[in-house]
Structure 1
Amino acid sequence: MRAEKNKKLSMLRAASTAAAFGLAALAVPGCFLATDVDRFRETPPNTSKFFDLSFTITGADSHVDETFELRVVDRQKNIIAMLRASPLGGRDATFNLPSSLPKTGGLRLVFWADHNNSGAFDQAPLPFDHSWFVDVDPFVPKDPASNLVKIEFEHNTAFVPVEGKEIGGPAEVSFSGMRGQLGRRAQVSISDANSKQLVGVLRATKITQDAFTLRLPGIVDPGAGTRYSVLVTLDDGTPAAGGLEGYRFERASELAGLKLTFDPTKDQATKTTEALPRP
């Protein structure tokens, strides 16, 4: 009788011990359960209407000191965004254009170097300008959470005709008071203030004068009164964009296009503390 009683008591203790260990295991702080749950969480898709573009050209030794232009062209061959760098500035050069590619598809990048320094694309006088294109769709990210289209293009001699119809007016930026910025890089990014789409970028790769003007054709709405958000950035011109500072303001277009002025010694009130995109 006593042996049977002791056996039941041992079984009861064993069951109690097992239950206690089970509760203790649940009570121990840790990441096991949380980690398992997080494994199945998906990053939400990016809801922006526009992709960001990072474009790099490599091996362009023969175009370092030439003006370089990049166009975003839609299915109808209209130019919907444009970048112009004066000059290209290196055999390898990268340009970042946030919110510049509508997610409608069918876009093409058309780009050229002003090999005869005429100021416009032409094939005379010799040496004629060099031009290329890349279709964007193959580079669109497969991950819906990603918003970056990254394209690297290696310079070659398979030149093609330049495409793109200008559907708007010009943008012009007159710089002054730049003596303290000599040797640095200046870039002006122009976006539609309503849609937030980037439509134009003007880059002075290395500032060499106290006063100068940059001009970009065909990217401003042809009517007057369209408001544009303008970001002027200044940095040391290296890939790391050291000493990066920015100035943000809005301006309205006129019938003749968009005319802007910038003087860092007078426009300190427009200096921004926002996180700045790398040029």
Structure 2
Amino acid sequence: MSDITLPSTPNKLSRYEITGYILIAAGAIVLFWGIIMFDLVTLIATGANEEVGIVFGEFGEFIGGIVGSLWALAGVFLFFATLTYQKREFELQRIELHKTQKIFQQQNFSTLYISFLNKHNDIINSLTAYDINKSEWSGTNFFVFFQEKVLSSFTQKVRTKEESAKTPELLHSFFKDYFIYHFSFYQTSLNPYLKNLSVLIKLIQRYRAETQDAGEYYSFITKAGFTQSELFLIYHVARYQLLVEFHNIDHAFDVFEDLKDELKVDRIVQQELNDENYL
């Protein structure tokens, strides 16, 4: 997620406050200067009532015209200073609210993610297959069994062909046919696993889009749980577009970057063709 810069708390007065206080001080200085110029202290002590009234009237006009204007202008600047502080406080509150919402969003997603991840693991543990000796292959061993079934069927078929008849297109066709055949045979068991996995990946994609967090750890946790045999299955399901949900799955977060090349159909075919560039 993009970083949020908190507005710094001011350690000194703003320019509005400084200007306002300068105007207040100027008004006070003018007021004091007026008292001296009009000699109000002496006038009050010795002057006649009529004279005092005239001088005070002139003094009042002086105060209202200059000092009053200065202090009124100071009030405007201090008002703007108050608005500035309020704006800063509102911004701080907005950022705190955003942080709270982000934490709440992470907590909600974490709960949902853990739920789907637990379901994902439960589905894997429920996967079971039996070989010709009726030995059980369950859990992650199911993917090992599936991989071996596909590879052994493909290898046996290829090695019945004359070397001159082997072409990349033909071998690709064999591999695809056997993969789809075995996938179809176990599809009833695999569908809940693949559907749940697709939802899990979409959840992570949505979370990354909403938070703009490309480095979140949910995708790393998910990828870390994949075995090579599991990736072998997912990779070729996506390759042959056997499920719509797995189209362009690798664009999610490079989910196949840890899959060994020798478990991908291109390398498998090249090895059967004895291409020295791939051996």
**TM (normalized to structure 1)?**
0.25
Name the one with the larger helix percent: 2
Name the one with the larger strand percent: 1
**TM (normalized to structure 2)?**
0.25
Q: Which has the larger radius of gyration?
A: 2
